[in-house]
A and B are shown apart, each in its own frame.
Chain A
Amino acid sequence: MLVLTGPARRPEPGMLRYIVQRLIYMVIVLWLISIATFIIIQLPPGDYLSSVIERLESAGGNVSDEIIEGLRLRYGLDLPIHLRYFNWFSSVLQGNYGFSYTWQQPVRDIIGERLVLTFAIALLSAIVTYAVAIPIGIYSATHQYSVGDYVVSFIGFIGMAVPNFMLALVMMYVAFRFFGHNLSGLFSPEFIDQPWSLAKVGDLVKHLIIPVVVVGTAGTAGMIRVLRGTLLDELNKQYVITARSKGVSETTLLFKYPVRLALNPIVSGLASLFPALVSGGVITAIVLSLPTVGPMLLKALIAQDTFLTATLLMFITVMTVFGTTVSDVLLVVLDPRIRMDRGVA
C-alpha cells in the first residue's frame, strides 16, 4: 500500500505499548461481553431446568421432586449467581456452549459453519466497499461539481437511505423478474447435496453477489462521502498549491500526499464499518434466507432458545471486537500523528 512505501520502519517501543494496551482493553471488553451474555441467558422467566422438566412431563413422565433436586444439583442451579457465572464461563472456555433445544443438538455443532459464512460475507463486503469507495471518492473530489460527482453523490445518498432489507428484496425481485434466477439461499436446489465442483462454486458466487452488494452499499455510500470531504479539504491546502507551482504532475500531486492523508479517516472508519457490516449482514441474510447466523439468531430469539441465542450474540460481538481492535492497531501503524495524540510515543 502507498502509505507503507519509504524506508522500512522498526516498530517503536511506544507503539508496542499502545498495541499491548489495546489488547488488554480488548480482553476487558470480551469479559464484559461474557457477563452480558450470561445475563441474557438468565433473563427469561424460569430457568433452563423448568423447560427441561416441562419437556419431561409433556413426554408423559412423572417428574418427582428427587429427580428435580438431582437435576438442580447437576446443573448447579442452587449455587449463588457468581458461582453459576463462573461455571458457565469455564465451560464456554472449554468450547461447551450448552444445548439448543430447538435444534436438539449441542450449540457447538450447529454454529461453526454459519459463523464462517457470516465472517466471509462481512469480509467480502468490506473488500468490495473499499474497492468501490476509494476510486469513486477520489474521482468525486477531483471532479467536484461535475456531472459524475452529482451522480455519485446522489447514488451515495440513496445508498444510505434505502434500508438493507429493501435493497435485498428489490435486487431479488429484479434478478427473478428479468434474469429468471431465484437467488435466495446459498445454492440453487440442484447443487445443495452435490459434491464440490466448479459449477457449484459458480452457483455459490452467483448467490453471494446480492448479499455482498447489499451489505456493502451502505458502507460504500458513507465512505465515499467521507473521502470526498477530507480530500477536498486537503486539496485546498497550501502545500498542494506549492507543489503545483513547482511543476509537480497532477497525478503525483494527488497521490503523493492528499490521498494518503484522506485515507486516514477511511482506515479509522474500519472500526465502525465492521459492526455495521455484521449488523447489515444479519438482516440481509434473513431476507435472502442465507445459512448465516442472522436467521438462526432470529429464530432462536423468538423460540427463546437461550443457549443458542446467547452464544450467537457472543460470537457476533466477539467478531466485532476483534475487527475493531485490528483496525485500531492498523491505524496506529499507518498514522504517526495518532501515536503522538494518544500520548503513546
Chain B
Amino acid sequence: MNGPRMDRWLLAFLYVLAFVLLREWLVPVMELTDTNYLGLFLLFIALSFLLALLNAKWWISIPVKLLYVLWVIHYVFFGKAFFSVETINYLLQDLLSNISILLNRDWMDITNPLRTILFYALLWMTTYLIKYWIEYRKSIFLFYVMTVIFVAFIDTFSAYSADGSIFRIMLAGLLLLGLLSISRLAARHNVSVSRGIFATISIPLLFVIIAGGAFANVLPVLEPMWPDPVPYFKSLSEDAGEGGSGSGVSASGYDTDDSVLGGSFVQDNTLVFEAKVRDKQYWKIETKNTYTSKGWEQDSPTGAIAVQNVNEELKDLQTTTADTPRLEAQIMMKEKFPFILYPYGTRKVSADSDVFLSYSGSTGQYKTMNDDSEIELATYGIEFQEPVYSLKQLRDTSMDEFGTSSEDLSPYLQLPQQLPARVTELAHTITEEQDSVYEKTKAIERYFGRNGFTYAQQNIAIPGENDDYVDQFLFDTKRGYCDNFSTSMVVMLRSIDIPARWVKGFAPGEIKRNATGERVYQITNNEAHSWVEAYMPGIGWMPFEPTIGFSGQTDIDYDLDLDINDPATPEMKEKEQERKKNSQKKKPVKKETNFELDKLIKDVTTWIGNHVWYFVGAGAVVLFIGWRFYVARKKWLPKVLIRNYKSKKMDWGTFTKQYRSLLNQLDRIGFKRNDGQTLADFAIEVDNHFGGNNMRQLTSAYEKGLYGGDLVNHEWVALKEIWEDLIIRASG
C-alpha cells in the first residue's frame, strides 16, 4: 500500500489529530510524576510531526531533534537559553557518570538529565510509530485503543481526572480513524481522491462523530456495576488486617513504643492525614537516641524545652537553610496526635486554636499544648524552606571537627555495651576508603543496596535474649523493613564515632484526589517510616535514607554548584568519584584510566571552549566548500570514479557498479529514465545525444548479465574503455 503520498493538507490535519491524542498521554504523566515543562515536550512532538510532514530527510530531522533535546536539557537544568562551554562540559560529564551507573545497574541513581533524554527518546520512537501508522499503514486503531485504555486506567487508579480528556480522545481519535480509512480505501483501489471529494466524504463522518459525541454526552450515566476497584481492594485488605494482631505481628503505623523491634508487620490502609503540599516530603515526628540492642528507648526530654506560640517564626531551627523559596503545607489530620508532623526546614506552624508548641531539642518533637495539657490539632499549616546542602561543604567535613563542636553530641554516640564487635568492624570496613564525614555516611547508606539485603515485612526476626537487633539483621537475616535498615545505619555510624539518631515519622505517601476533589498527598499507616539523621560538622543534622526501595534523596535538592572552573565541586563529578572509589577494590586498573580519560576530556573541552570561534568559522568554511563540491559533483565525480576503477579487477560486480554509476551520472546531467522505460530504450536515447553506440554496447552487456545470467563471457577490457569514454563525455 505504498502509493503516492497523501495530500499534504490532509496529512497535516491527521498529524494535528494525532498530536491531540499523544498530548492526552503526556498530560497525566506530567501530572502524576511531578514532571514539569509539558510545553517543551509538546513542542518536541509538534516538531517531530512537522518534520515528518515535510518529509525531511533523516540527515536533517535527526540533527534538528537532537539539537532540540540538547537545548531542552540545557534550558531545563541550567535555566539558560543558550549553550555555553561550561554547561556542555557538565552535561558530558554527567553522561559519562551515567555510563558507569548503567554498567553497575544502579537504575535508581540515573541522573535526571539522562532520564529526560531517555524520555525524549521514547517520544521520538512514538512519533515515528505514529508516522508509520498514518502514512504507511494508514491505520491507527491500535494507538487509539491504547490511548483509551491508558486514559481510562489512569482515571480509575489515580487522582487524574480524565473527563475532558476522554471526550477529546473520542472526537480526535474517531475522526483520525475515519479519515485514515478513507485514504486507505483510496490507496487500496489506486484511486486518487481530490481534496474536495475528500472533504465531501468526510462531512457525514464528522456529523456522525459530533452527533454521537453530543448524544453520548446527554445520555444518563449508569451507576457503575462494580464498585470502584481501588477503595474496594483497600477495604478488603483492611478487613484482613484486623484479625492479625497476634504476638510478633504488629500493624504498621505510628507507635510510641519501639523498645522491642522486629516481627512481622501487617498492612494498614487507615488514612492518618492528608497533606496539601507541592512536592513529596518526609514528615518527621521525633528522634530517638538510646539503642538497647533490642530496640529504641526515649530518654525523658532533657535539655532545654522551648515553648512558643503558633503562628510565630520558630526560634529553634533544626537545619540551616539557604535562600530556597518558602513553601506551604496544609495538614489535615484524620487521626489525632498531640504533636506536629513536620517537613524538613519548617519555619512556622500556623493554626487557629490558641495553642503553643513545646519543642524538645533532644527528641525533635513539637508537642501541641494548651495551658498544661496536650491538645490535638485537626488541621494546621506549615511554612518551610526545603534545606539545601552544599556538596562542596559536605565534602569538606572532617572527622577532626567533631572535637571542636560546641554542641554536646555524646547522647548520639551511645551504644550498648554488648554490641558485637563485628558490627563496628563492618562499619570500619565500609568507610575506610572515605575521608569526609559525609562520604563515610553515604557509604553506609549505600551499603544495604548492594550487599544482598532484601526489603520484607513478613517473618522478620525478633532478637532473642542474647541477640543484638542490628547484628542479627546485618549478618544473619539480611531481610527487614525500615526499622532494620535505619537502626543498623545509626548503630554503624555511632560505632565509627559519627553522631547519629533514629528518626520516626511518615514517608511522603501518594498523591490522590480527596473527598473535596483536591489533589493531596494521602498518608496512611502504611507510610509510617523510620530513617536516619547524622550530624555533619559545621552543617548540622542531615537526613539519610538507608531503606531499600525508598528514595530519600530525591526530596532533598543538592546544590548544583555550577562553578565548573572550580574542578572539585559538581555533584555529578562528586558522585562519579565516590563510585570510583567504591569500585577501586574490584578494578584498580580501570580506575586509573578513567581518571586520565576524564582529565583528557576536560582538557580537550576547555581548549575547544577557548577557541570556539575558530571552530565555528572553520566549520562554516568547511561546510560551504563541501556544499560547493557537492553541487559541482557532476563535473569531478566521473574522474574520481575512473581513477577508482582503474586498478579494480574487472568482473560482473565491478561492471554493475560502473554501469550504475554511469546511470547516476547521466541522471545528474539531465538524462532521466522513467520507471517504465527499458534500459535498451534509454541507451538509444543516450546514444542519440552523444553519438556512437557506447551506451548500447554497455547496456547489452549489462542485459546479458542481468537477464541472461551470463556473468562471465564479457569483454571486460573493452567494456571498461567504453565506460570511461562515455562517463567522461557525460561529465563535460
Chains A and B come from one and the same complex: no
- Seen from chain A, the residues whose Cβ lies within 8 Å of a Cβ on chain B are none
